[in-house]
Structure 1
C-alpha cells in the first residue's frame, strides 16, 4: 500500500485533504465524525489529526495558596485517528509534536500507532502560546522537530530508547513536516526558516504541508526559496477560510500570518459573521483556482470550525 507521501508525489489531478481537531475533553467524538461525513464525499487523499500538549493553569485556593493545574483540552489524537481509519477506511495522518511530551511518551504513541496499522505522520514542534514568548520543552522531551525525526528514524531501524531488542517494524513510519510561507514566528527571517526546513527534509521528511496563508504570492515565493536551496519534496499549500469577523485579528495573532489588503478591507465591511464566512469562501475559492492553475494539485484545508465553508469551497473546486 502506498504511503501518504507516495500518494502526494503521484497526485496528477485536483485533490483534497483536510485537518481536524480531536474533541474537547469530555465531549463526544460525534462532531469529528460529522466533519468526516460532510467532507468524505470529496474523496480526501488523507485526513490529518492535530495533537495538543498539556496546558498549565493556576487556581487560587481559599487558603491563599496557588495550586498549579495541568490540563489537556484535546486528548485522543491516536484514538481519533484509529476511529476514522477503521470507521471510514480513510488514510489518517496524526500529528506528533515535541511540545508537552517526553521521548518515552512519544515512543509509546508510536508503538500504539504501529499496532493500529497507522504509519503516516506529520511532525510539528508545537507552539509556545501557553508558555510565554519562548518555546519551553518538557523535561525528557525534544527541543526541535529534527530531534523527533531522529527518534523515529532510529525506531524504523528497530532501535528503542532503552536499547530493548526488537524486530524492525514490518511497515516503517513515513512522515512530513510543517512549512511556513510567512516564516515561523521565532525564525529571524525566511532564509533561516528555509535552512532548517532543508535540514528536516535531508533527515527524512518526505513532504511539507504549509501553515495557512491568504496571499498566494507569499506561498509561491516560499516554494521558490525552498527549490533554490534544494528542497525537492512536494510542498502542499494549506488553506483556511475565514468564518467570523473577529478572525481578522485573531488568526494573525495566533498563527503569525498577514491578510492581504483587499481581503482585510472586505472583512472590515462585513456586518455579520455570515457575511465574513461568505467572503472567506469566495477568497479561498479564488486561491484554490490559482493554486491548481499553477500545478499544485493537492490543497490541504484546515477544517477546524469551518466544515461548512470547506465543503462549499470543495464543492466548487472538485
Structure 2
C-alpha cells in the first residue's frame, strides 16, 4: 500500500485548557510531516481573531504550511479581504474559502450588507488577487441545503470555475460514498484534487448527532457496532480499526491525500497514521 500524503484540521482554543490541548495536539502531530494543516472558524465567525492568532503561531513556531479558514459570515468584503491580505504578508497563502455557518440560533445564512453573498463570490475575489492557493469544501452526501447529490456536484463545479485549486470533503463513513461522489465530479468536468475528509470517532454519540445535523449518512451497521463497543469499553479500539480500514480502502482506490479532522485530539489520528505506515519524522541534531 502506498503511503498517503496527510493533513490535519485544528480549531482555535476559547479557553486556557483548550489552548493547552491545541498546542499539545500540534506538537504531537507536526512530526508526522503533514502537507498542510488547517484552522477553522467558529459558527458565525465567532473565532475570527482566535483563528488568526492560531494560524500565525502554528506557521511561525512549527514551520507548517497552514491553510486558514475564511468565511463570508458577519463581515464586509473589505474586512474579509483585509484578513486574507494580512495572511499573505506573513507567508500564509493557503485559504480554505467557505460560506460559513450562521450564528447559533439563526434560521439560516444572511449575508452582511457589504459582504460576500456566497463562497463563490469569496473565491472569485481571492482568485483575482493571485496570492492564494484556494481550498474549498465538498459534500459527498447531500448537503442539508441541497436538493440532492447532483446539486452538491454542480455547486462544487461553480467553486472550481471561480478559482478553487482543490476541495476537502465533509467526513463520511463508507468508502463507496467518496468514490461515488468522485466519479460524479469527474463526469461533471471537475479536475482539481478532491481530498477525502477523515474523522476518527472519539465520541460516537457526539459524532452521530453532528452527522445527522449535516446530512451525513449513518450506516445501520456502524451505529450498532459503536453501541456495542461503548457498552464493552472498546470505543477507541473500534474507532481506530474502522478509520484505518476506511483509509486503506480509499488508498487502494487511488486516493493519494487524506485530511484528518482531529478535533484537537491527537491520539486517534496518530494511531491511524501509524496503522497506515506513517511515522514521526526524526530530525537529527548536532551532538556535542
TM-score, normalised via structure 2 length: 0.89
Q: Secondary structure at the match of 2:234?
A: helix
Deviations 1:13-47 (A, max 9, x none): 51111100011156664322211111122111100
Distance (whole Å) between structure 1 residues aligned to residue 48 and residue 70 of structure 2: 14
Q: Which residue in the other structure is 1:67 paired with?
A: none
Q: Secondary structure at the match of 1:311?
A: helix
Answer yes or no: is 1:23 the counterpart of 2:13: yes
Deviation of the 1:132 alpha carbon? 3.8
Q: Alignment partner for residue 235 of structure 1, among 171, 194, 199?
A: 194
Cα displacement string for residues 166-188 of structure 1 (whole angstroms, at most 9, x for unaligned residues):
xxxxxx11111110000221011
Secondary structure of residue in 2 paired with 1:314: helix
Aligned equivalent of 2:173, options 204, 208, 214: 214
Match of 1:38 in 2: 28
Aligned counterpart, 1:69: none
Runs of at least 5 residues in structure 2 that lack an aligned partner in the other structure: 279-288
Which residues of 2 match residues 1-318 of structure 1 at below 5 A?
13-24=3-14, 29-54=19-44, 72=46, 75-128=49-102, 130-156=104-130, 172-247=131-206, 249-271=208-230, 275-317=234-276, 318=278
Change (3 A) 1:253 1:275: same
Unaligned 5+ runs, structure 1:
1-11, 56-71, 157-171
Question: Relative to total residues, which structure has the larger helix share, 1 or 2?
Answer: 2
The separation in 2 between residues aligned to 1:76 and 1:19, in whole angstroms, is 15
Residues 202-211 or 245-254, more deviating: 245-254
2:12 touches 2:39 (CA, 8 Å); kept in 1? Answer: yes
Query: Which structure would you say has the larger Rg?
Result: 1
Return the alpha-carbon distance in structure 2 between the equivalents of residues 123 and 309 of structure 1.
27
Instruction: Tell me the CA shift for residue 272 of structure 1.
Output: 5.3
**1:246-285 residue CA offsets vs partner (Å, 9 max, x unmatched):** 1353122333212222211101213359522222111100
- Structure 2: how far apart are the matches of 1:48 and 1:17? 8
C-alpha change, 1:134 and 1:246, in structure 2 (3 Å) is same
| Aligned match of 2:286 | none
TM-superposed deviation, 1:54: 4.1
Are the aligned partners of 2:22 and 2:264 in contact in 1 as well (CA < 8 Å)? no
Number of matched residues? 276
